[in-house]
Chain A
């Protein structure tokens, strides 16, 4: 599901530049499926598919698979066009320490939006 994320983000030089102070690893959970995304200096170093025994991450984004499916539609419906929209509707939970997420919020939103129209 998230395999394309690394190439899509790293091919976007301006997006990488905007994330140049980001060094983190976050968990993206879509229903039963989990991925760890490692970022260094704005570039995605790895996307690792779970399941994991003892995953380490700074923050986690957890939503049902159906919520992410709608989020990644080319034209997402109202309530699924943004991670905060999904937080408001209680379909997305943000866990852990969100400092790096909040300090680079536009960057992370655009990282996630890279997959819009690119995943089934």
Chain B
């Protein structure tokens, strides 16, 4: 992904293969304007960002020539996130992501893009929602990949700190998640990951965590996931204390056919905090999806 030195006059601009556009789509009965990035061709691979962040987390994947040869990588910003707008009327109520809304959003975007049985990969809240998709809509998807996937996370700090006018939201959100990044992360990628958190809108990270910590608890349902209907891959970083390796191992034990990998030195944001370290673990998974 490194840019060749631009020496000035006569040098072609160095653009990434990633193209970003705005998609107009009706979700949950309201018109939405969502920011969608795409690169590559082949099997659609939809990438879901973490709570309070945006699709820039997948920048390395979106630029990897080997992956782009066989996969059409699609990453979109959820409503309220990144360059996607919240729907009109957002200012009249608190933002709270629910399981039902999140599932409807992912399916709605896939349908609007006319993707044919895409693979979906999500991290954290995205890693949780792929479990919901596996349970209730498995046949719509070619494969599901959960990064930092767990069926439930116990709250370990007061979420009120994330959204109050006497604490800077961007600074506290980055402060909350900074320790979730593993020690193997290169400094530039660590701080790029934190920058995304610093840019989140007020209350958005907190609203996403409503799904992650309260509404999206599916401990009592995960054993019903049928990996024959849709394969499920689980990749989790060793240093994540939000979704801990043991949470992912517990999923693997309770879901017949699920395959889990624990990634040493990596934390909660594998694709963003340590892209090359993560891709080494992802490539065999993508190769398996390709060969099916």
Hey, which bits of chain A sit against chain B, CB under 8 A?
75-76, 78-79, 81-85, 87-89, 98-99, 102-106, 109
- Count of A-B contacts judged by CB separation below 8 Å: 53
Contact A102 B175 (CB under 8 A): yes
B264: nearest residue on chain A (CB-CB)? A78
Q: Which residues of the other chain, B, contact A81 by a CB distance below 8 angstroms? A: 179, 183, 239
User: Which of A78, A84, A98 is within 8 Å of B239, CB to CB?
Assistant: A78
- In angstroms, Cα B177 to Cα A81, docked, is 12
Contact A88 B238 (CB under 8 A): no
Restricting to B138-179, which residues have a CB under 8 Å from any CB of A?
Answer: 156-157, 161, 166-168, 171-172, 174-176, 178-179
A106: nearest residue on chain B (CB-CB)? B175
Contact A105 B175 (CB under 8 A): yes
User: Which of B156, B172, B241, B242 is within 8 Å of A102, CB to CB?
Assistant: B172
Tell me the dominant secondary structure on chain A's binding face: helix
Shortest B89–chain A CB gap in Å is 30
Shortest B70–chain A CB gap in Å is 34
Q: Which residues of the other chain, A, contact B242 by a CB distance below 8 angstroms? A: 88
User: Which of A83, A84, A106 is within 8 Å of B174, CB to CB?
Assistant: A106
A87: nearest residue on chain B (CB-CB)? B156
- In angstroms, Cα B175 to Cα A103, docked, is 9
Count residues of chain B with CB under 8 A from any CB of chain A: 20
A-B contact pairs, 21 of them (CB 8 A): A78-B238, A78-B245, A81-B179, A82-B179, A82-B241, A83-B179, A84-B157, A84-B176, A85-B179, A85-B241, A87-B156, A88-B156, A99-B166, A102-B172, A102-B175, A103-B168, A104-B171, A105-B171, A105-B176, A109-B178, A109-B179
- A-B interface, 10 closest residue pairs, ranked by CB to CB distance from nearest: A82-B179, A105-B175, A88-B156, A85-B241, A106-B175, A103-B167, A102-B161, A88-B241, A78-B239, A84-B179
Hey, which bits of chain B sit against chain A, CB under 8 A?
156-157, 161, 166-168, 171-172, 174-176, 178-180, 183, 238-239, 241-242, 245
Q: Which residues of the other chain, B, contact A102 by a CB distance below 8 angstroms? A: 161, 167, 172, 175
A74: nearest residue on chain B (CB-CB)? B183
- In angstroms, Cα B156 to Cα A81, docked, is 16
Q: Which residues of the other chain, B, contact A89 by a CB distance below 8 angstroms? A: 241
A102: nearest residue on chain B (CB-CB)? B161
Additional A-B contact list (17), CB under 8 Å, known A75-B183, A109-B175: A76-B183, A78-B238, A78-B239, A78-B241, A78-B245, A81-B179, A81-B239, A84-B176, A85-B179, A88-B242, A89-B241, A102-B161, A102-B167, A103-B171, A105-B171, A106-B171, A109-B179
User: Which of B172, B176, B241, B245 is within 8 Å of A103, CB to CB?
Assistant: B172
Shortest B264–chain A CB gap in Å is 10
- In angstroms, Cα B168 to Cα A103, docked, is 7
Contact A79 B171 (CB under 8 A): no
